[in-house]
Structure 1
Amino acid sequence: LCGAVIASPWIFYQIWNFVAAGLYPHEKHYVHVFLPFSLGLFLAGCSLAFFFVFEPVLTFLLGFNKSMNIDPDPRINEWLSFVLILPLGFGISFQLPLVMLLVERLGIVTISTYLEKWRIAVLGIFVLSMIVTPADPISMLLLAIPLTVLFILGIALCKWMPKRKSPYGEGYDP
């Protein structure tokens, strides 16, 4: 694991060199524009998990053991999976505004659809939060509430960054 973390810049550089060879210049521009935002959202999600979610979740989960006078005995693989999966789930989930913008730009979903179906989206956010986090309501809420705010910010982002008209006409697809 430590080796993967240390080698990750080189790995990402190699992946980028492979992918960039097949991209048009305007596509590379999108990567250069959106990658910092994506990285910032990922780090914000991981930071939220580390600094605000771990303590209440562990207090809640270990509280069951105290009420039954049982000493907790977590195994190292369980602890590592908890410590790695929770921030990873938060970081990936925080990509929601950029995914919403991408789906809107591709023409799959419109802004009006986001506004009409917001109740279903919030329900989906809560279901996703139940799947990604451990089996306790506190961590679910600590992920679902920021994701709901990010959903609203995603709608604002789609409105704020409208589609640009192609200089080549409607049917042009580079």
Structure 2
Amino acid sequence: MNPLDQQFDNDLDDGKEMTFLEHLEELRWHIVRAVGSIAVFAIAAFIFIREIYDKVILAPSKTNFWTYRMMCELSKKTGFTDLCIEKLNFTLQSRQMAEQFTMALTSSLMIGLLFAFPYAFWELWRFIKPGLRPNERRAARGAVFYVTTLFFMGVLFGYYIVSPLAINFLANYQLDPRIVNEFDISSYISTLATLTLGCGLTFQMPIVAFVLSKIGFLTPEFMREYRRHALVVILVVAAVITPSPDIYSQILVAMPLALLYEVSIWVSGYVNRLRLKEEQELMRRDGYED
């Protein structure tokens, strides 16, 4: 353990309060360790960047990608031949001298951020947790696990579902057959990263509901009342995320988002029940109840 962390824990045990500068120093060490973990994973990713590009980053641009193969299997069983993707009508190119090297650095940094996310969030949580009340700590127990799990579930959903559907549509969309789709590698990477990381953040909906309910800004009654409005918004978001015009792709994306909304209602109800119970216990302790 870092000496500053040990001193911070000792101060908490002794009932001492840290000064503002001590809090800043503590925060600095947490940030240094989080950034260091990102750097370690980024360096490892840069060493194996060619293998990563071939097996992971460029995989959705190939028709033998797992998602495309599963869609073809599904088309055979259902009879919807449009589901099978047999051709991706585009090529990737690099039109600037340093573009491939720059993209290797950028991709390594994003991969480092992705894999270091659990540890980086844990460092942030270690700084926040001591400032919480005992009941708040109990309510937020397992926060690192849930945040990390939801984040990686969203990333996998974005990588295996949303990104292939979007890439397929954009690659095969043509205003005129004479116009050839030749995409810059930077444009491809930007699209893949935006969709993948965007889904990772979108899957944090239950966590956002937990925080908003904890501060009293959100209630399960409110979420149930506006459930229909939320479903409309979810369908719109699904339509934006998946440019593909077929309704099957949009439903495929909208279903997990709708499920997350229902989970968020349960989370909000759980938080509100805990808060009501704590208020009743406080009133009994203060003698306001008969």
TM-score, normalised via structure 2 length = 0.48
Cα distance change of structure 1 residues 56 and 69 upon mapping to structure 2, 3 Å threshold: farther
Query: Residue 282 of structure 2 aligns to which amino acid in structure 1?
Result: Y
Displacement after TM superposition at 1:83 (Å): 1.1
Alignment-derived partner of residue 153 in structure 1: 263
Displacement after TM superposition at 1:41 (Å): 1.1
2:253 to 143, 160, 163: 143
Query: Residue 254 of structure 2 aligns to which amino acid in structure 1?
Result: A
Alignment-derived partner of residue 96 in structure 1: 205
Q: Please tell me the root mean square deviation across aligned C-alpha atoms, in Å.
A: 3.3
Q: Indicate whether 1:54 and 2:163 are aligned.
A: yes
8 A contact 2:147–2:207 mirrored in 1? yes
Name the CA distance, whole Å, in 1 between partners of 2:232 and 2:222.
Answer: 15
Deviations 1:19-75 (CA, angstroms, capped at 9, x unpaired)? 456444554555542221121111111101111222222222222149725432111
8 A contact 1:129–1:144 mirrored in 2? yes
Displacement after TM superposition at 1:5 (Å): 4.0
1:168 to 282, 287, 290: 282
8 A contact 2:213–2:271 mirrored in 1? no
8 A contact 1:90–1:143 mirrored in 2? no
- Local SS of the residue matching 2:183: coil
1:73 to 162, 172, 182: 182
Alignment-derived partner of residue 112 in structure 2: 6
Q: Would you say how many aligned residue pairs link Structure 1 and Structure 2?
A: 170
Name the CA distance, whole Å, in 2 between partners of 1:45 and 1:36.
Answer: 14
Rg larger in structure: 2
Query: Residue 58 of structure 1 aligns to which amino acid in structure 2?
Result: I
Name the CA distance, whole Å, in 2 between partners of 1:86 and 1:4.
Answer: 13
Cα distance change of structure 1 residues 18 and 153 upon mapping to structure 2, 3 Å threshold: closer
Moved more, 16-25 or 104-113: 16-25
Cα distance change of structure 1 residues 11 and 93 upon mapping to structure 2, 3 Å threshold: closer
8 A contact 1:105–1:163 mirrored in 2? no
The runs of 5 or more residues in structure 2 that have no matched partner are 1-105
Cα distance change of structure 1 residues 69 and 49 upon mapping to structure 2, 3 Å threshold: farther
- Local SS of the residue matching 1:157: helix
Name the CA distance, whole Å, in 2 between partners of 1:17 and 1:34.
Answer: 11
Cα distance change of structure 1 residues 73 and 155 upon mapping to structure 2, 3 Å threshold: same
Displacement after TM superposition at 1:137 (Å): 4.5
TM-score, normalised via structure 1 length = 0.74
Cα distance change of structure 1 residues 66 and 87 upon mapping to structure 2, 3 Å threshold: same
8 A contact 2:155–2:197 mirrored in 1? yes
Aligned sequence identity (%): 24
Cα distance change of structure 1 residues 105 and 134 upon mapping to structure 2, 3 Å threshold: same
The runs of 5 or more residues in structure 1 that have no matched partner are none
If asked which structure has higher relative contact order (CA below 8 Å, sep 6+), I would say 1
Query: Residue 6 of structure 1 aligns to which amino acid in structure 2?
Result: G
Displacement after TM superposition at 1:93 (Å): 0.8
Q: Indicate whether 1:84 and 2:193 are aligned.
A: yes
